């Protein structure tokens, strides 16, 4: 499928989706949100894809925010629909049963930070800046930023970032648990590729189970989370990949998981 604002590339079992609006610092307008939703669905339905990487084109920005020009012309009713569209995309990314890695290669502000927060793992270059500057425009985050940042960094830090609108450096984001790792700008692509390859070689049912157990477990009580873990563990043990993994361990060789 051809997209106006996205570039799609595959490398073995890893699909990279690049937001390609460099003249707008990859800002998220309605069309881009809809294209991202379509691209995520396509990646989910492609059995050859095991890992998804999201990034932005150019060297300045991952995504510098939502498209302000578009927001400025919206009525309250249109703004509500725009917020719902963005939230649906971020929730769809978070609910993916294939790992989604954000390769944050520059500014991740507003909707860009919210997009990164929807991903399962986040690697950032040392020149990256992350923030929720909406308050400086007389608005507030609308793509899930208040809720996901709250859950990652806690109430105090979420309030500070959302109320001041000041961006933070990648190193600070790592300290707060907002990004998993910070690497040099020229090392980001290789670091993301290495992580993606590692995840792509894992047993898919085990990956799905971990993603579901942790994502859903974070929103429920301990006993419900434990019951979900038990159910997913049992599903893993019914796969050929389980036999391959345990056999490889006993035979002291590298497992070759087939997703069966």
Decide if pLDDT at 92 tops 80: yes
What tokens does 131 get? 């923030």
Q: Is 114 a catalytic residue?
A: yes
CA distance 118 to 114: 6
User: What sections of the chain are H helices per DSSP?
Assistant: 30-45, 68-72, 76-94, 111-118, 145-153, 155-164, 170-175, 188-200, 204-217, 222-236, 240-250
Question: Which string of b and e fits 59-73 if b means at least 16 CB within 10 Å?
Answer: eebbbbbbbeeebee
CA distance 72 to 105: 27
Q: What per-residue confidence (pLDDT) applies to 2?
A: 85
CA distance 158 to 146: 7
pTM to 2 decimals? Answer: 0.94
Q: Is domain 204-250 given the CATH code 1.10.12 in the classification? A: yes
CA distance 203 to 154: 32
Phi then psi dihedrals of residue 193, to 5 deg:
-60, -40
Query: CA 188 → CA 21, 86, 126, 193, 245, distances in Å?
Result: 20, 26, 9, 8, 30
Decide if pLDDT at 26 tops 90: yes
CA distance 89 to 11: 24
pLDDT tens per residue across span 120-177: 999 999 999 999 999 999 999 999 999 999 999 999 999 999 999 999 999 999 999 9
Angle at 178 between CA 150 and CA 152, to 5 degrees: 30
Quick check: do 6-200 and 204-250 share a fold?
A: no
**Among 90, 68, 196, 195, CA closest to 143:** 90
What tokens does 53 get? 């990487």
Q: What per-residue confidence (pLDDT) applies to 196?
A: 97
Domain boundaries, the chain: 6-200, 204-250
CATH assignment of 6-200, given 3.30.365.10, 3.90.226.10, 3.90.550.50, 3.90.1150.10? 3.90.226.10
User: What sections of 4-67 are H helices per DSSP?
Assistant: 30-45
Decide if pLDDT at 259 tops 90: no
Dihedral (CA of 82, 18, 119, 51) sign: positive
Phi-psi region of 144 (alpha: psi -120 to 50; beta: other; left: phi over 0): left
Catalytic residue (one of 35, 114, 174, 205): 114
Catalytic residue (one of 12, 38, 70, 134): 134
CA distance 257 to 174: 32
CA distance 117 to 111: 10
pLDDT tens per residue across span 61-76: 999 988 888 888 889 9
pLDDT tens per residue across span 196-248: 999 999 999 999 999 999 999 988 999 999 999 999 999 999 999 999 999 99
């Amino acid at each position: 499928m051809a997209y106006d604002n996205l570039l799609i590339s595959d490398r073995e079992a890893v699909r990279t989706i690049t937001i390609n609006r460099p003249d707008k610092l990859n800002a998220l307008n309605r069309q881009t949100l809809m294209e991202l939703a379509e691209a995520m669905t396509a990646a989910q339905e492609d059995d050859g894809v095991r890992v998804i990487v999201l990034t932005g084109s150019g060297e300045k920005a991952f995504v510098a925010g939502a498209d302000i020009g578009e927001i400025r012309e919206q009525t309250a009713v249109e703004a509500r629909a725009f917020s719902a569209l963005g939230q649906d995309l971020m929730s769809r990314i978070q609910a993916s049963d294939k790992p989604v890695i954000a390769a944050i290669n520059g500014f991740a502000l507003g909707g860009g930070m919210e997009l990164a927060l929807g991903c399962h793992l986040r690697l950032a270059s040392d020149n990256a800046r992350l923030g929720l500057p909406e308050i400086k425009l007389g608005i507030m985050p609308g793509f899930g930023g208040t809720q996901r940042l709250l859950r990652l960094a806690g109430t105090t830090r979420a309030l500070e970032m959302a109320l001041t609108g000041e961006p933070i450096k990648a190193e600070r984001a790592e300290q707060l648990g907002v990004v998993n790792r910070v690497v040099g700008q020229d090392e980001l692509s290789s670091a993301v590729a290495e992580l993606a390859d590692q995840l792509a070689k894992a047993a898919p049912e085990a990956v799905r189970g971990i993603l579901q157990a942790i994502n859903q477990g974070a929103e429920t009580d301990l006993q419900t989370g434990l019951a979900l873990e038990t159910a997913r563990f049992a599903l893993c043990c019914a796969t050929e990949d389980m036999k391959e993994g345990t056999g490889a361990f006993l035979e002291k060789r590298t497992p070759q998981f087939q997703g069966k």
